């Protein structure tokens, strides 16, 4: 899957991943390969990603929106 995490000031991450865990406003959730299309709001918390090389990264977000469709995920995060 291809992921982009974007804030109003810069692109924080761009690359291939195998998993993303997000802090949804109704609870945390994960997106894996071939996930059904989804749009969700995010609350303050940590985004966890596992890249294709199995490196694990965390990003703090104060909130935002995520859209996943056709194995492309875009996170629009608010500025801290």
Instruction: Encode pLDDT of 27-47 as tens digits.
Output: 999 999 999 999 999 999 999
pTM summary value:
0.93
pLDDT at 80: 62
Domain ranges of the chain: 2-77
Question: What would the 3-class secondary structure string for 8-25 be?
Answer: CCCEEEEEEEEEEEEEEC
- Bridge partners (DSSP) listed for residue 20: 31, 49
What is the average per-residue pLDDT within 14-19?
97
- Cβ contact 4:73 at 8 Å: yes
Topology of the domain comprising 2-77: ATP Synthase; domain 1 (2.60.15)
């Amino acid at each position: 899957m291809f992921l982009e995490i974007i804030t109003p000031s810069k692109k924080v991450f761009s690359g291939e991943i195998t998993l993303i865990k997000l802090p949804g406003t109704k609870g945390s959730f994960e997106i894996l390969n071939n996930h059904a299309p989804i749009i969700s709001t995010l609350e303050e918390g940590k985004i966890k990603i596992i890249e294709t090389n199995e490196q694990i990264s965390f990003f703090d977000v104060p909130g935002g929106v995520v859209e996943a469709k056709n194995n492309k995920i875009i996170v629009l995060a608010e500025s801290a």
